Amino acid sequence: MASFYGYEPKSRLFLGTAQYPSPAILAEAVRLSGVDIVTVSLRRESGEGGAGQAFWSLIKELGVRVLPNTAGCHSVKEAVTTAHMAREVFGTDWIKLEVIGEDDTLQPDVVGLIEAAKILSDDGFSVFPYTTEDIVVGGRLLDAGCEVLMPWGAPIGSGRGLNNLYGLRTMRQHFPGTPLVVDAGIGLPSHAAQAMEIGYDAILLNTAVAKAGDPALMAQAFAMAITAGRQAFEAQPIEARDMAAPSTPVMGKAFLS
């Protein structure tokens, strides 16, 4: 299992906690999937009418590790301020860093992301950057102090899967010793399995589970797919061929004339 800032999770699935039909369904999804890292939003914790405190109590009861995020931040200043507030509220130096650069695709502003990552890393944060599959950007983020890279598979909430399989493969090959997590765009367990089959260390998703007809069952399905995908990677699968290769030897076969 990959180590994330010194922590080795039991599960390779990281689960978001937004948009579930009810707290009870969220709790069941966490339990059935076996995840031990969940992402949380500072905005959710700060909800009106005490809803945020009730949500935080639920997360504590589940006994999982919290990865706060800077979701919705569009500037370096906003992301850094949100990260500092999250550290105070949730009592952790972990932060999933998002600096959004474009509203329609929610693509990361990679220039701002690198700047914010440097500021937060220097301030003692363990930064999990939501980035693109660009290896140059990935290198800059590692230089800024990040020890994990989280490239998107597709736009957040789109469910499109792995839009740039070549780019994701290249990132995996370029950073063989860096924990890599596909974050965003995963819609089906098969998408998650595909990412694991090319060597990724974990999957972070939210919408595909929270918006499913049966979120708890879908969370369990993702957990199983991720396990299968990782096992397939470790088993060293055969390479694709352009031509057929007989699985039954023809040597010694009887021929009738």
Residues belonging to the binding site for 1-deoxy-D-xylulose 5-phosphate are 157, 184-185, 206-207
The sign of the dihedral angle between the CA atoms of 100, 168, 116, 98 is: positive
Active-site residue, 211 included: no
Distances (CA, A) of 110 to 74, 99, 136: 11, 8, 10
Q: Provide the annotated binding site.
A: 157, 184-185, 206-207
Rounded to 5 degrees, φ, ψ at 124 are 95, 5
Residue of 96, 118, 211, 253 marked catalytic: 96
Report the catalytic residues: 96
